[in-house]
Chain A
Amino acid sequence: MYYRSLFPRDLFAEFDRLHRELQSIDPNPSIRGLTRGFPALNVGGTPKAVDIYAFAPGIDPATLDVQLVKGMLTIAGERKAEAVPEKATRHIDERFAGRFQRVVSLPDDVDPNAIEAKYRDGVLRVHILRKQEAQPRRIAIQ
């Protein structure tokens, strides 16, 4: 693999990706993914928290709807298409437009009250802390 990944993955995920890429006609990696939706999602975790990155450029954060219901995180919203003026022609049309919704199932140990969402440079980052009781603790030996 010549990719120096931003999010390095395990070997099986790499095989899975390779398999999908071989099946697709377009070999160029794209932000849209292969059959995935909008926005593209990256998910990662530390022992203390879970982080979800949604790549949703050009959206007013106030119109984004982020909900956590029974361990399912839903990110929904709408991206309006750029208006094409009269007598203008659209030559390339690849950017996503319309309503979108993506759902991520979170691990059981997250704390639904310790959730934080930030939008910067077109990326929504949802930071959810894991529950206190799920944190590793050192037990003193008497």
Chain B
Amino acid sequence: MSENTTIAKSTENARHEAALLPPTDVIEDAGGITLYADLPGVPKDKLNLHVEADTLTIEGEVSLDLPEGMEPSHAEVSLPRYRRVFTLSRELDTSKVGAEFKDGVLKLRIPKVEHAQPRRIEIQVG
């Protein structure tokens, strides 16, 4: 699994909008990969996951309750959206992606295709 820094294949309308890069953990085990991404401030309905061929795009819009007429005095999160694009290995089965999203943390589980799964071969004693 490698990461694209230049966004080439993402949706056209979002292409030029600046976005935050969500911090991510990727853990690989024998059966597949687990990806965690931090997207604080994104409600469930504003999260967009997109798999196209071998490209995984994670996008989210930040939605905060801002009081009317608020004057910002300090901002470390200065953009209202996140975006990150990953290129997935062909070993991964993109038709079986499992996603959970809770408290701003996205958890994706992508299993490996069957022929890439490790198998134990029984040795027959003749």
- Beta-carbon contact of A121 and B70 below 8 Å: no
- Beta-carbon contact of B76 and A41 below 8 Å: yes
**Total contacting residues, chain B, CB less than 8 A:** 50
Residue in contact with A92 in the complex, picked from B19, B25, B80, CB distance below 8 Å: B25
- Beta-carbon contact of A89 and B38 below 8 Å: no
Q: How far is the CA of A55 from the CA of B23 in the complex (A)?
A: 12
| Contacting residues, chain B, for A84 (C-beta < 8 A) | 27
Q: How far is the CA of A39 from the CA of B1 in the complex (A)?
A: 28
Count of A-B residue pairs with CB < 8 Å: 165
Chain A: CB-nearest residue to B29: A88
B27 vs chain A, min Cβ distance (A) = 5
Q: How far is the CA of A56 from the CA of B39 in the complex (A)?
A: 9
The answer to whether the Cβ of A3 comes within 8 Å of any Cβ in the partner chain is yes
Q: How far is the CA of A43 from the CA of B20 in the complex (A)?
A: 18
Known: A28-B21, A29-B18, A30-B20. A36 touches B71 (CB 8 A): no
B13 vs chain A, min Cβ distance (A) = 14
- Beta-carbon contact of A92 and B24 below 8 Å: yes
- Beta-carbon contact of B77 and A121 below 8 Å: no
The answer to whether the Cβ of B62 comes within 8 Å of any Cβ in the partner chain is yes
Chain A: CB-nearest residue to B37: A95
Chain B: CB-nearest residue to A29: B20
B57 vs chain A, min Cβ distance (A) = 16
| Contacting residues, chain B, for A125 (C-beta < 8 A) | 64-65
The answer to whether the Cβ of A2 comes within 8 Å of any Cβ in the partner chain is yes
| Contacting residues, chain A, for B63 (C-beta < 8 A) | 121
B19 vs chain A, min Cβ distance (A) = 8
Residues of B with Cβ closer than 8 Å to A?
1, 3, 5, 18-30, 33-34, 36-43, 62-80, 82, 102-105
